[in-house]
Homo-oligomer: A and B are copies of this chain.
């Protein structure tokens, strides 16, 4: 019951961020979109900053970590493929995540702890890539560059799929896009 209301609040916030950006977010609009009273928001969150940071934590926790636990013992290329496929599906399923995540991190609302959390997924990826380099599977290039390529592509590609009415995320397009990605970074 309580969870349901929380989810409605988060969904409303994501949805509105996609429409008006974080710049246009109003507490009253979030409440309206979530079909609750404005005051109720303040039973769940201390203030607007608190709400936005909570949503950020939730989104972060759902994506990277959720993937990691399922795949951490597979070979590197398979692991990267699974991550690619899963991340892409999740992002395309709700592209609003990306929009929110990107806007949030340079908004006046980010808390210190949110900033710290930003690198969780990147750090896991970095470890994976370092291991791949040692095992001669991955090019010996600064991991940060490799990560920029992988994440940048992931982000832009999912946005493209969502925005382009003619595109859909098929198994073929997942494979095709991963192939490009892998070819770029593999030794």
- Known A-B contacts A152-B153, A156-B155; A141 and B180 likewise in contact (beta carbons under 8 Å): yes
- Determine the distance from Cα of A120 to Cα of B18 in the docked complex, in whole angstroms: 22
Min Cβ gap A106→B in Å is: 4
Which of A73-81, A128-136, A143-151 forms contacts with chain B? A143-151
The interface stretch among A20-28, A39-47, A62-70 is A20-28
Residues of B within 8 A of A157 (CB): 145, 148-149, 152
Greatest chain B CB density within 10 A among A18, A22, A152, A157 is at A152
Partner of A107, one of B21, B109, B141, B183: B21
Asked if A34 is at the interface of the complex by the 8 Å CB criterion, the answer is: no
A107 to chain B, nearest CB (A): 4
Binding site for B on A (CB under 8 A): 17-25, 99, 102-103, 106-109, 139, 141-142, 144-149, 151-157, 159-160, 164, 167, 173, 176-177, 180-181, 183-185
